[in-house]
Amino acid sequence: MMNQEFTGKIAVVTGAASGIGYTVAHHLAERGARIVGLDLNDRVHELMNDLPGRGHHSIVADLTDPSAASTAITETVETVGVPHILVNSAGLALLDPAVDVTPDRWKLTLDVNLSGTFYMAQAAGRVMLEAGYGRIINLASQAAVIGLDQHAAYCASKAAVVGLTHVLSLEWARRGVTVNAVSPTVVETPLGKAAWAGEKGEKAKAEIPVGRFAQPEEVAALIAFLAGDDAAMITGSNYVIDGGFTTV
């Protein structure tokens, strides 16, 4: 019988129409959570309707709009209830040599990866703090702790997500809200497989001590642990899930 540890819990997941976000939404739904999935892609409606369990909700939102987060959390509270869990999975990677990064691409990367994460955490944090309970998990990246070629904007945005995680955890710990970050290496989502196909991917795998990329289900399992009651003593941490790459 499937573990139902999240029965009665409401989880907001951004980037829920694809990749890690969708896998997390499915993983938590299988374990009893009611999911509120946010995505820019309106396919999120169909995908959330097809999740295991009942009572899921979907919202199309552009998180580069500073007002979108508070609107989404208000809708969540009014239609489903006060969220217990927030997973900030929405993100993008626009890769350029540092000397070629345009202002528009720099701004968009930070708007999605950093500002979108902050505004969602802020909006959810307000209702979680009032309720006295919350679990917030921010998707960072191994790029938060090491430099990667052509990743100037991406590395900067993800390092800032880890810094933000530290501050929020410090401010909110005594009021029942934990905030942690998860930092994967390349994850074999459909986009990840396409971006790292062929010789480029094989070379990258060879540099990882375990010899492979991460699976989305492995990332989802770590997020689920941090979202659960057993992780109540863990806050302000950044969990790197990269097969030992950053320790080499």
Q: Where do the H-state alpha helices sit in the chain?
A: 19-30, 44-49, 68-79, 103-110, 116-131, 152-172, 190-195, 198-206, 216-227
Q: Is residue 247 part of a domain?
A: no
Q: Is 154 a catalytic residue?
A: yes
Whether residue 13 contacts residue 83, with contact meaning beta carbons closer than 8 Å, is answered with no
Spatial separation of the C-alpha atoms in residues 63 and 60, rounded to whole Å: 10
Spatial separation of the C-alpha atoms in residues 217 and 241, rounded to whole Å: 12
* pLDDT reported for residue 247: 75
Q: Is residue 5 part of a domain?
A: no
Q: Is residue 45 part of a domain?
A: yes
Amino acid identity, position 176: G
113: tokens are: 């990866």
CA 116, 74, 234 angle in degrees (round to 5)? 60
Q: Is residue 163 part of a domain?
A: yes
**In Å, how far are 3, 97, 148, 169, 240 from 206, measured between CA atoms?**
35, 23, 16, 35, 18
CA 62, 35, 51 angle in degrees (round to 5)? 105
Q: Is residue 31 part of a domain?
A: yes
Q: Is residue 246 part of a domain?
A: no
* pLDDT reported for residue 194: 74
In DSSP notation, 110-132 reads: HIIIIIHHHHHHHHHHHHHHHHT
Domain count, the chain: 1
| pLDDT tens string 10-33 | 999 999 999 999 999 999 999 999
Domain boundaries, position 203: 10-241
Q: Which of 22, 119, 154, 239 is catalytic?
A: 154
* pLDDT reported for residue 248: 55
Q: Is residue 3 part of a domain?
A: no
Residue 69: which CATH number? 3.40.50.720
* pLDDT reported for residue 2: 64
* pLDDT reported for residue 246: 86
Q: Is residue 1 part of a domain?
A: no
Spatial separation of the C-alpha atoms in residues 56 and 214, rounded to whole Å: 27
Which residues of the chain are modeled with pLDDT < 70? 1-2, 248
Instruction: Region of 132 please: left (phi>0), alpha (psi -120 to 50) or beta.
Output: left
**In Å, how far are 17, 82, 104, 112, 119 from 14, measured between CA atoms?**
8, 16, 23, 11, 12
Task: Please list, in sequence order, all residues whose beta carbon lies within 8 angstroms of the beta carbon of residue 95, skipping any fewer than 6 positions away.
Answer: 150, 151, 154
In Å, how far from its chain's centre is CA 70? Answer: 18
Number of H helices, E strands in the chain: 9, 7
* pLDDT reported for residue 16: 97
Spatial separation of the C-alpha atoms in residues 239 and 156, rounded to whole Å: 18
DSSP state of 187: B
